[in-house]
Structure 1
């Protein structure tokens, strides 16, 4: 695994992220909103990724030997891809906290004794032995900056790695936002955790219709969601808020969010949807309750462990990574929702490098806050002509995405 440069800056001001986010003058309303979001986004945001890796694997038709370039976020997607035995995976992220988390998760697979130990470390809370496992098996095998980050102390004075003794998934910007959502719901007399007692999709539907859906009619919630800053905790920047608002029927963001939450609560059995467990129960299910994420399933452990050494994690943008790679050196690209934030120039710079580095039969997947693809009509004709959208397949797979967060899922294939 490539060691981070000494100036990678875990915990320091993140100029790379700021450069990607800031598109307006500092004293304008849009500029102030971007800077507030940048401040919130500069810490750990996603302890778990909120894109369904099972859908990604199907969309990419991922096979052994493929070379992947992916945005990291919480790292669950990258680890799931390893179960398909790719030749190499390059992971990028502009957030140094995500870089540290991706490196730690990889080291856990490579150096903890077995599958049960990995599950205890990454999926169970309230285990004080996790920090001891870190000290014995993981820390000695981390690159220096990542070891310094996790062994160091956070703002609360405790070692950062001690969060694995408690509940990693209640931390980060998104984890705290979900906690705030639970608090608001309880103030209105609803405990979202009660949904896990449902034993059928019919009961899930009844719980949503009777308990959760009415929350979105309360004046306080409608008032809050009309403000862009109210969704910063979901990792939704100002640009994505505008796209999200445009994706509805004009009745307001609250109704868009209600529709997305309805899919999460009602469209999949709880035992098959660990995203719902994190949203409503704020934990992963126990073995008798439901399935763990793809990368934590026992039958995949050996392949992931064996291929974890084929991953490099970089603190940089996808465009920068690709600019250093040879032509025709990548088979699959995973852009998450990063393009929702980009200007036309940034999009064309990115897709110019994607087109140059794409091998034959290359596939690009990404998600968008709204339903429409953000690249249509924005790429230069020369670049756009190299790719075709597989809209029918993307729509079908988007319906299978259990996280239910995004409005659109998109697949683009290299033109032969």
Structure 2
């Protein structure tokens, strides 16, 4: 299947009726392009939750690819990377080729961390392109809307591209027009200064009428990758907490801006500076940090890309053959039939003790309410542990992190 068909199948499901049907179709059309140039789920938390042993078989979703590359630090036998969106798989393969082909860490940082040097064109031609197959080379060398080859985004701040990157750029402009300043967070030196700058430059924006109005428009959030079903979950979460949607988004932005040191938060770097600082090793995505780079580079051949749904991939796997599953927020998109089909295959293919990690737009997991009792009985979760993991997730754009372990 092509990307359009896969996304339509995932989003326009059996619950699509009336106004929701039009909203789902609009989201599916909007999502049929590069959305994420980096992930927005914290792989440090994922790895802590999974407690993987060497030789594990892992299934994850590509998104921006940084997560799959980070999981290589756990010495897995294989990381199977699935995505509905071929653009995300193409980006993952480019990052993989850069890690494999560029001669040293400094060159990798120039291409994948700074991602804005004119000399990256030469790096692509000499070291990256030879590692790509013919189809991927055609993809990355095809012209964009302005006639530039796609790979040239790595000479123009690559992480400002994609729907989310452009949304963040628009948010910076809008914030300044409204009297705020998202980039003011960049120079904060202490947690106290981060909190003070957030309260002065960012928090007041969420109390403006225009932000309250925008936060209630589902289509305004499509560039964040929030489909209509997840928007409904966010609204229910806000109602349960006695907040407006703008108030809910303010709290999550505060978590991102204030609860972790800026100098060691790659997500805050992209949100507020719109770039990584290659001189701050701790601020880089995990797979690019100096201590992890050698093992990631040595293991990139253990990544396997699959352009299909999670369920389609698992249907081709043997029983009791998988150790870890990372679903990002994909289950928020699914109707009950899709969710049951996925978890039937997860339960069949999971080894004893296998773990599943996922995020939700709202705070609570819906599995206990949506899966048949005989299916969920194979799994257990610890809600206190889940809340603790969520508190450690530096991205902070979701409402919950959930871990399920197979017990029988």
Per the normalisation by structure 1, the TM-score is 0.95
Q: What's the counterpart of residue 303 of structure 1? A: 295
Contact map agreement 1:84 1:303 (CA 8 A) in 2: no
Identify which of 86, 93, 97 aligns with 1:96. 86
State the partner residue of 1:62.
52
Equivalent residue of 2:117, what SS?
A: coil
* Structure 2 residue ranges without an equivalent (≥5): none
Q: Any idea what the Cα deviations from partners look like across 1:339-371, whole Å, max 9, x if unmatched?
A: 001011000100011011101210000000000
Alpha-carbon shift at residue 125 of structure 1 (Å): 3.6
User: Counterpart of 1:412 in 2: which secondary structure?
Assistant: strand
Structure 2 counterpart of 1:375, from 362, 367, 370: 367
Q: Does 1:75 align with 2:54?
A: no
d(CA) in 2 for partners of 1:24 and 1:224? Answer: 28
Contact 2:236–2:362 (Cα < 8 Å) also in 1 = yes
Deviation of the 1:63 alpha carbon:
2.5
Cα distance between partner residues in 2 of 1:117 and 1:340: 38
Cα shift at 1:110: 1.2
The CA deviation string for residues 24-82 of structure 1, in whole angstroms up to 9 with x for no partner, is: 69882111111111111100000000000000000000231111011111111100000
1:119–1:56 CA distance, 2 compared to 1 (3 A) = same
Deviations 1:117-150 (A, max 9, x none): 1111111043011121111111122122211100
RMSD (Å), alpha carbons: 1.5
Aligned length in residues: 406
Counterpart check, 1:334 vs 2:287: no
Q: Is the 8 A contact 2:314 2:345 kept in 1?
A: yes
SS state of the match for residue 58, structure 2?
Answer: strand
Alpha-carbon contact 1:274-1:285 (below 8 Å) kept: no
Would the alpha carbon gap of residues 21 and 69 (structure 1) be closer, same or farther in structure 2, given more than 3 Å must change? same
Counterpart residue number, 1:261: 253
Separation in structure 1 between the aligned mates of residue 320 and residue 140 of structure 2, nearest angstrom: 36
Equivalent residue for 2:35? Answer: 45
Question: How many angstroms apart in 1 are the aligned matches of 2:280 and 2:259?
Answer: 21
**Which of residues 219, 240, 243 is equivalent to 1:229?**
219
Distance 1:365 1:211 in 2: 34
C-alpha separation in 2, matches of 1:246 and 1:156: 42
Q: Quick one: distance in 2 between partners of 1:31 and 1:288? A: 45
Instruction: Select which of 340, 344, 347 maps to 1:355.
Output: 347
Asked whether 1:172 is paired with 2:162, we answer yes
1:156 shift after superposition: 1.9
| Structure 1 segment 205-216 matched on structure 2, within 5 A | 205-216=195-206
Give the stretch that moved more between structures: 60-69 or 346-355: 60-69
Q: Greater CA deviation, 296-305 or 50-59?
A: 296-305
Q: What is the CA–CA distance in structure 1 between the aligned matches of 2:264 and 2:147, rounded to whole Å?
A: 38
- Structure 1 residue runs of 5 or longer lacking an equivalent are 1-7
**What do residues 367-415 of structure 1 show as CA deviations (whole Å, max 9, x unaligned)?**
0000010212211222111111122222111100000111010000001
1:318 to 310, 314, 320: 310
Give the Cα separation in 2 of the matches to 1:118 and 1:48: 16
CA contact (8 A) 1:364 1:413 kept: yes
| Contact 1:390/1:413 (8 A) holds in 2 | no
Distance in 2, matches of 1:221 and 1:377, equals 33
Structure 1 residue ranges, 4+ long, deviating more than 3 angstroms after superposition? 24-27
Which whole-Å CA distance do the structure 2 matches of 1:386 and 1:361 have between them?
A: 10
Q: Which moved more, 1:375-384 or 1:319-328?
A: 375-384
What's the offset of the Cα at 1:23? 2.6
Summarize the alignment of residues 123-134 of structure 1 with structure 2, pairs less than 5 Å apart.
123-134=113-124
Residue 409 (str. 1) matches residue 394 (str. 2): no
* TM-score of the superposed pair, with normalisation by structure 2: 0.97
Contact kept, 8 Å, 1:70 with 1:89, in 2: the verdict is yes
Q: 1:104 aligns to what SS in structure 2?
A: helix
- Does residue 396 (structure 1) correspond to residue 388 (structure 2)? The answer is yes
One of 5, 12, 18 as aligned partner of 1:22: 12
State the 1:266 CA deviation. 0.7
Q: Is 1:47–1:169's contact at 8 Å kept on the other side of the alignment?
A: yes
Matched position secondary structure for 1:298: coil
- Return the alpha-carbon distance in structure 2 between the equivalents of residues 389 and 24 of structure 1: 28
Following the alignment from structure 1 to structure 2, what is the Cα–Cα distance between the partners of residues 280 and 148?
A: 33
CA distance in 1 between counterparts of 2:400 and 2:33 reads 27
